[in-house]
């Protein structure tokens, strides 16, 4: 026996929900998903080259004022191979803080030539103290607290950043 053809506006399932209501619900769910994804700047890989080798991090990209303002706030965990990269359009003295950040972080301040200017190690969670490289940088890489020491990162090391296109 074949099922009857389904027409737009016909009834689906147990007969209580018209197809148009299901379509409307699906469209609303897709719209909500699109809004969530619009808030995500994307993901990429960053490689930190140290005396101990090349260390790859899967990073979220924060390259808008909104994404930079939020950063890693309210996170309860950050994987050892994860982080967030903050991009700036031109070299500038960047000031970071740990407001609403629940976990310790290492911050690698990166010059325009891709070298590390400064490493702020194990920045204290929830601190309002400002942290800066003290010189112009074009990016800051935040990784889990203690990871910079574990991988042997030092000022002058090279960081390979993702394309910003």
| pLDDT given for residue 18 in this prediction | 58
Residue 77 sits in the same domain as residue 152: yes
Q: Are residues 91 and 135 in the same domain?
A: yes
Q: Tokens 């994860």 — which residue?
A: 82
Residues 78, 155, single domain; the answer is: yes
CA dist 65 to 61, 78, 94, 96, 99, Å?
Answer: 12, 22, 13, 13, 16
CATH number at residue 148: 2.60.120.1140
Is residue 29 located within the same domain as residue 58? no
Number of domains in the chain: 2
Mean pLDDT to the nearest integer, 101-115: 99
Q: 66-70, 105-109, 133-137 — which is least confidently predicted?
A: 66-70
Mean pLDDT of 62-91: 95
Instruction: With cut-offs at 50, 70 and 90, classify the pLDDT of residue 17.
Output: low
Domain span at residue 111 reads 43-160
Give pLDDT, residue 8.
45
Q: Are residues 131 and 50 in the same domain?
A: yes
Domain assignment present for residue 165? The answer is: no
Residues 45, 58 contacting (CB under 8 angstroms): yes
Q: Is residue 97 part of a domain?
A: yes
Q: Which range, 15-29, 39-53, 124-138, is most confident? A: 124-138
Q: What token pair was written down for 98?
A: 């740990």
For residue 121, pLDDT beyond 50: yes
Tokens of 134: 């003290």
Q: How far apart are CA 24 and CA 10, in angstroms?
A: 14
Phi and psi of 3, rounded to 5°?
A: -80, 150
77 occurs within a structural domain: yes
The Cα 130–Cα 155 span in angstroms is 19
30-72 per-position pLDDT tens digit: 444 333 333 445 899 999 999 999 999 999 999 889 999 999 9
Give the helix ranges, DSSP H, for 50-123.
65-70
Strands 82-92 and 53-62, sheet pairing? parallel
What's the predicted TM-score (pTM) here?
0.75
Residue of 75, 159, 80, 78 lying closest to 116 (CA atoms): 159
Task: Find tokens 């026996």 and name the residue.
Answer: 1
DSSP SS3 for 36: helix
Band of pLDDT at residue 29, cut at 50, 70 and 90: very low
Alpha helical stretches, state H, 40-143: 65-70
Residue 91 host element (H or E)? strand 82-92
Are 47 and 31 found together in one domain?
no
């Amino acid at each position: 026996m074949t099922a009857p053809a389904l027409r737009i506006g016909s009834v689906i399932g147990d007969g209580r929900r018209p197809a148009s209501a299901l379509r409307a619900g699906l469209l609303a769910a897709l719209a909500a998903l699109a809004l969530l994804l619009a808030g995500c700047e994307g993901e990429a890989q960053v490689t930190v080259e140290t005396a101990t080798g090349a260390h790859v991090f899967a990073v979220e990209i924060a390259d808008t004022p909104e994404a930079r303002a939020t950063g890693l706030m309210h996170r309860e965990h950050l994987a050892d191979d994860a982080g967030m990269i903050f991009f700036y359009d031109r070299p500038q003295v960047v000031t970071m803080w740990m407001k609403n950040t629940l976990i310790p972080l290492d911050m690698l301040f990166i010059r325009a030539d891709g070298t590390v200017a400064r490493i702020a190690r194990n920045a204290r969670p929830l601190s309002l103290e400002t942290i800066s490289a003290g010189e112009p940088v074009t990016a800051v890489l935040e990784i889990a607290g203690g990871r910079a020491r574990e991988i042997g990162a030092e000022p002058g090391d090279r960081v390979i950043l993702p394309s910003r296109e």
